[in-house]
């Protein structure tokens, strides 16, 4: 009993004299760790919602806490304007409601900066329309009949037809790469936005692969919640001028079914940076979690693969050299890496497609 009391006193004294910087790190890790509270108490609905679309609806249905939060965000914006960070921005009702989705001050500032950038682009585009177009004058001078413009349009149409044909063949004969979208309810708004932007890069990468040496990509997006009009990812894509009709046409396959319904369990391999064994193309069909490298839910894909009793592998990047920064990669980088690894079978060549920030050491670690 005395020994137990003595150990308690030692532990209490160490806790009181611990470095405050270490305490902050421990609190940060605890706040952003994977637990049941974090997974089930995140927002699943973000402003503007079907019920609250403007300020009139907000005044009717919003809680007093949400109204106080909006006033606080407005006061932040006024302070930014006084500091000279914004000059021409006048946020709309939709902008104010979207600011409510961001949890931190820096993320709200970043979003408002993007809004001001869009306004500046519209102003510049309007000024260009007022000015006489030199390109049109030059085209009319070189080809008054417009024949070369017709040939260019025919060329673009032919290129699109070839790409569509090759992607259709890839959907039939190439091994697929699966992206899992079952984690959307566990992500914050800024994480959903980043995932949607990475999907834009993945879709363009799939179309570009039709003209590369590597095989044409056969991408399947699984566990996509319907209706798509209410899906948070597609809402972000629509705000980026991406129409749902164009997204549904390709160059990827989108389904609400699970990968377990489409393929046998023994043929599936879930990719996670927390796995022990390396991925080989012969292991099976790779599954990529629809999360980002800055996600607050650690080992989320690893836990789901364990629950579903799937094979878990990590990319053989460590076999080549050290990866600097976070070991997690963006979705488009993972897809490109897997495609090159399948084609060459050489992790050294696949390593070259990674971004330079992952291959180069930080400046403080570089030797002169």
User: What's the predicted TM-score (pTM) here?
Assistant: 0.64
Question: Per-residue DSSP letters for 251-298?
Answer: SSEE-SS-HHHHS-GGGEEEE-TT-SSBP-GGG-EEEEES--TT-SST
Distance CA 254, CA 262 (A): 12
Distance CA 238, CA 232 (A): 10
Distance CA 264, CA 165 (A): 28
Backbone angles phi, psi at 170, to 5 degrees: -65, -35
- Structural domain spans, the chain: 55-128, 174-359
Residues 81-132: tens digit of each pLDDT: 888 888 778 888 888 888 888 888 888 888 888 888 888 888 888 877 776 5
Residue 269 reports pLDDT greater than 90: yes
Distance CA 352, CA 254 (A): 29
Task: Show Cβ contacts of residue 308 under 8 Å, excluding neighbours closer than 6 positions.
Answer: 260, 265, 270
Lowest mean pLDDT among 18-27, 251-260, 270-279, 335-344: 18-27
CATH of domain 174-359: 3.40.1280.30
In three state form, how does the secondary structure of 62-102 look? Answer: CCHHHHHHHHHHHHHHHHHHHCCCCCCCCCCHHHHHHHCCC
Residue 282 reports pLDDT greater than 80: yes
pLDDT score for 28:
32
Element (H, E) at 33: none
**Average pLDDT for 215-238:** 80
Distance CA 184, CA 195 (A): 9
Distance CA 181, CA 192 (A): 11
Task: Show Cβ contacts of residue 366 under 8 Å, excluding neighbours closer than 6 positions.
Answer: 360
Q: Answer whether 332's CB lies under 8 Å from 205's CB.
A: yes
Averaged pLDDT score across all residues of the chain: 76
Q: Which residue has the tokens 């990968």?
A: 259
Residue 275 reports pLDDT greater than 80: yes
Distance CA 156, CA 143 (A): 19
Higher-confidence residue of 335 and 27: namely 335
Residue 20 reports pLDDT greater than 70: no
Residue 17 reports pLDDT greater than 90: no
* Nearest to 359, CA basis, from 329, 328, 321, 332: 321
Higher-confidence residue of 46 and 28: namely 46
Q: Which residue has the tokens 């080809």?
A: 143
Token pair of 175 as six digits: 């091994």
**Average pLDDT for 188-216:** 83
**3-state secondary structure (DSSP) of residue 177:** strand
């Amino acid at each position: 009993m005395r020994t137990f009391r003595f150990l308690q006193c030692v532990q209490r004294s160490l806790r009181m004299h611990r470095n405050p910087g270490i305490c902050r790190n421990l609190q940060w890790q605890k706040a952003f760790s994977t637990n049941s509270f974090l997974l089930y108490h995140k927002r699943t609905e973000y402003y503007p919602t079907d019920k609250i679309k403007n300020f009139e609806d907000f005044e009717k249905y919003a809680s007093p806490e949400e109204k106080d939060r909006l006033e606080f965000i407005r006061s932040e914006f006024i302070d930014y304007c006084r500091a000279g960070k914004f000059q021409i921005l006048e946020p709309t009702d939709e902008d104010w409601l979207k600011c409510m989705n961001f949890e931190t001050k820096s993320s709200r500032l970043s979003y408002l900066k993007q809004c001001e950038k869009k306004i500046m682009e519209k102003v510049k585009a309007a000024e260009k329309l007022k000015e006489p177009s030199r390109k049109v004058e030059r085209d009319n001078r070189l080809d008054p009949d417009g024949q070369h413009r017709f040939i260019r349009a025919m060329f673009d149409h032919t290129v699109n037809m070839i790409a569509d044909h090759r992607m259709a063949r890839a959907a039939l004969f190439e091994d697929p790469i699966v992206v899992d979208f079952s984690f959307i309810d566990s992500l914050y708004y800024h994480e959903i936005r980043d995932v949607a932007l990475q999907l834009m890069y993945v879709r363009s990468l799939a179309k570009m692969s039709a003209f590369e040496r590597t095989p044409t990509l056969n991408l399947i997006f699984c566990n996509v919640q319907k209706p798509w009009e209410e899906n948070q990812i597609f809402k972000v894509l629509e705000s980026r001028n991406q129409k749902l009709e164009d997204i549904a046409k390709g160059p990827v396959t989108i389904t609400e079914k699970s990968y377990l319904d489409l393929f046998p369990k023994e043929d599936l391999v879930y990719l996670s940076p927390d796995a022990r064994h390396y991925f080989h193309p012969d292991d099976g069909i790779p599954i990529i979690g629809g999360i980002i490298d800055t996600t607050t839910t650690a080992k989320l894909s690893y836990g789901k693969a364990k629950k579903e009793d799937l094979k878990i592998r990590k990319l053989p990047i460590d076999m080549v050299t050290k990866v600097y920064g976070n070991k997690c990669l963006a979705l488009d980088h993972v897809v490109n890496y897997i495609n090159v690894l399948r084609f060459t079978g050489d992790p050294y060549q696949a390593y070259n497609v990674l971004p330079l920030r992952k291959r180069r050491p930080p400046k403080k670690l570089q030797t002169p």
